[in-house]
Every structure is written in C-alpha cells, then in structure tokens.
Amino acid sequence: MDLDALGNIGDLLSGIGVVVTLAYLAVQIRRNTAAVSAQVRHSLSDFVLHISIFRAEHADRYAKLKSGEHLTAGDLEFRYWSHMQMMLHAETYFHHFGIGLMPESHWSGYVRYIEGYIESDDFREFWEDAGPTFSTGFRAWIDAKLQGERAP
C-alpha cells in the first residue's frame, strides 16, 4: 500500500470520526435542552407555589381588598405590590412561552387567567404607573389586552 492510499484511508477515518462526533453532540444537546426545559418548568412551578402560599397567608387582606371597604394606605400599598408580583410572574411566563419553554396548552390557560386578572380593581392605575418598568414586548401585550384583545 502506498502513501496516497494510506492518506485516503486516514481522510476517510477522520470523516467518520467527525460524523460520529457530530451525532454524539446532537444527542447531548437534545438531552441538555430537555433538562433545561424541565428545570425552567420546575422554577416556574416553584414561583407559583410561593405566590399561592403568600396569597393563602394573606387571604383576609385580599378579601378586604375585594370588598373595597375602608382601605387604608397600607391596604392600597399591598394591592399595588400584589399587582407587581403578579405582573412579574406573568412577564416571566410571557418570555418563557416566547422562547419555547412553555407549551401552548399551559400558555393559553394562563392567558385567560391574566385577561381576567387585569380587570381587577385599580389595575389600570397600577399599570400606568408600573407598566413602563416591564419589557417592551410584555408591555405591548398587556396594553393590547387592556384594549380588549382576547385570547383566541
């Protein structure tokens, strides 16, 4: 066997090695993407759990806010930060859906929830004050919802 033949065999083996390496990397990237997606879903679920616990711990205050009777300055401040907490959560979901980390089935139900939420007492006042602090895309989405655009 001459040197050209050995060189050709070496090139062939190198090409096979590259293909095997690329296939291995593709599998690893797919596994990593699945793991990251699961981790994100867990983080979002944990966030929801903490909000739920907070709301349960302050159920009396939320009931007072719903009644609208004899609201103190502290009650109004509590409502403002409750809106902020909810919108921070919604913005997180909005962006995770946008990059494909949340399935459509979860997102569509959440959208209906947010559409109802933004109709709550003094939300528009809150949004006029705090809306500019949120990302441009999320802000435009909430603005459209406030103008009556509904989920399909």
The predicted-structure confidence for 28-67, as pLDDT tens digits, reads as follows 888 877 777 777 777 777 877 888 898 899 999 988 988 8
Residue 152 clears pLDDT 60, i.e. is over it: no
More confident: 124 or 18: 124
Closest alpha carbon to 112 in 151, 83, 147: 151
- Does residue 3 lie within any of the structural domains? no
| 126: in domain | yes
pLDDT, position 10 = 83
Please report, rounded to a whole number, the percentage of residues in the chain having pLDDT higher than 90.
39
What is the predicted pLDDT for the residue at 149? Answer: 73
Confidence class of residue 151 from pLDDT cuts 50, 70 and 90? low
Q: Does some domain include residue 38?
A: no
pLDDT at 87 over 70: yes
C-alpha to C-alpha distance for 107 and 92, rounded to whole angstroms: 12
**Taking the alpha carbons of 129, 130, 135, 138 in that order, is the dihedral positive or negative?**
negative
Residue 26 counted as domain residue: no
4 within domain boundaries: no
Please report, for the chain, how many H helices and E strands are present, in that order: 6, 0
Closest by CA position to 121, among listed 73, 83, 72? 83
Residues 6+ apart with CB under 8 A from 82: 62, 65
Structurally, the chain folds into a number of domains equal to 1
Which pLDDT score is estimated for 90?
94
Going by C-beta distance under 8 Å and a sequence separation of 6 or more, which residues neighbour residue 40?
96, 101
Say which residues have a Cβ less than 8 Å from residue 88's Cβ, sequence separation at least 6: none
Domain extent at residue 136: 58-146
Residue 17, domain member (yes or no): no
Q: Is 32 a member of any domain?
A: no
Cα–Cα distance for residue pair 54/35, rounded to 1 Å: 29
Considering only residues 133 and 14, tell me which one the structure prediction assigns the higher pLDDT: 133
Residue 69 falls inside a structural domain: yes
